[in-house]
Amino acid sequence: MPVLPRVARAAEPRASAPRRRHTWILLSFLVCVLAPVSVSAWYLYGVAAEQFASTVGFSVRKEEVASPIELFGGITDVATSGSSDSDILYEFIQSQEMVEALERRLALSGLYSRAPGDPVFGYDATGTIEDLLDYWGYMVRVTYDSSTELIEVRALAFSPEDARTIATGIFEECLRLVEELSAIAQKDTIAFAKEEVARAVERLKSAREAMTGFRSRTQIVDPTADLQGQMGLLSTLEQQLAEAMIAADLLRESTRESDPRITQADRRIAVIEARIADERRKLGHVGGGEDYATKLAEYERLAVDREFAEQAYTAALAAYDQALAEARRKSRYLAAYIKPTLAQASEFPRKEVLLAIVAFFLLSGWAVGVLVYYSVRDRR
């Protein structure tokens, strides 16, 4: 009988310990999960300012024109590399230069500070440009498809009109940048075309001077025509030689050797042979002791250089005319496939999504803490 009271007294602490642990776990859940979630819900639905979105979408379009050099050289497949205009705009929208430009035009910090009662989603107008740039990264979202080079921008503000004003400002600043890029490209193209024309003029001048020097030195205007004339003269002389030899043979067969006509025929044959030998020597050496083949090769090289210089000069003039024409028209323009929209309802901040995220992380952290507690307790 005295054993029963001792057993009852030993069981009472064991039953109260689990109840205390459960109480502490419940209290930790209320403090670490339920209370922060309740505060977040109160803030999101009672304090957070409504945000409105405006969307604008655009892309850079170019007018591609074939280069005049293709008409002469057939060079059409020249590989080029570098960033596209859309890549530049994508980085420009998220840059400090864009924020500073809109701050000057729209007083951007004033538009973003129209939610003074919202310390989380609102903006303090006294912040620096770096603070405004960080806030800009939250309020403006840029989507870029590199395959189609389409850019879509979503701008948030605390009123539909302000959101559309910011989206319109983004589009206008991008338009200004595209026009500047186009002007720079046109200026560089014109300058390059001028340099090419000047270089082509110098090349053509040098080629013509070299041809003139050759003609003055050799006293030959066109070696090809001169060669054809000499070859015709040789052919004529050889024909006359053959006729003279035939006539001499006929005289020998019909008259005596002492006939003076045979002597005259032999002299005619000797004169023609001497003339043929002189003409053939001319083909071997033409002025300055150089052979005719060397002169002909030099002339052909100079003729090819002059022809190429003339074609390059023509192509350079055509390229320069095209560059001037390109400068007078717009080769790049910004095409908006979505004009800045005006919101009718507030969609941001996404209260349900934010509240679910907060609850998930708090619950996960609390559960991990409880598991760690029991793990440490069981090891003791």
Percent of the chain with pLDDT over 90: 25
**How high is the pLDDT of residue 159?**
92
Mean pLDDT across the chain, nearest whole number? 81
**How high is the pLDDT of residue 173?**
94
> 90-104, 263-277, 305-319: which range is least confident on average?
263-277
Which segment, 4-18, 62-76, 268-282, is predicted with the most confidence on average? 268-282
Mean pLDDT of 237-254: 81
**How high is the pLDDT of residue 26?**
85
pLDDT tens for residues 76-131?
443 333 457 889 999 999 999 999 999 999 999 999 988 877 888 888 888 899 99
Closest CA to 114 of 66, 149, 166, 70: 166
pLDDT tens for residues 140-196?
999 999 888 899 999 999 999 999 999 999 999 999 999 888 888 788 888 888 888
**How high is the pLDDT of residue 69?**
46
**How high is the pLDDT of residue 331?**
67
Confidence of residue 71 (pLDDT cuts 50, 70, 90): very low
**How high is the pLDDT of residue 104?**
93
**How high is the pLDDT of residue 155?**
95
**How high is the pLDDT of residue 213?**
85
Mean pLDDT of 341-356: 88
- The yes-or-no verdict on residue 243 having pLDDT over 90 is no
**How high is the pLDDT of residue 271?**
85
pLDDT tens for residues 281-291?
766 554 445 56
**How high is the pLDDT of residue 81?**
37
**How high is the pLDDT of residue 14?**
52
What's the CATH number of domain 49-188+329-363, 3.30.1890, 3.30.70, 3.30.1490, 3.30.420? 3.30.1890
0.75 exceeded by pTM: no
**How high is the pLDDT of residue 380?**
64
**How high is the pLDDT of residue 330?**
59
Q: Which two tokens stand for residue 170?
A: 């983004």
- 299 burial (CB, 10 Å; 0-12 / 13-18 / 19+) is buried
**How high is the pLDDT of residue 211?**
85
pLDDT tens for residues 195-239?
888 898 999 899 888 888 888 887 777 777 666 666 777 778 788
Map out the domains of the chain as residue ranges: 49-188+329-363, 198-325
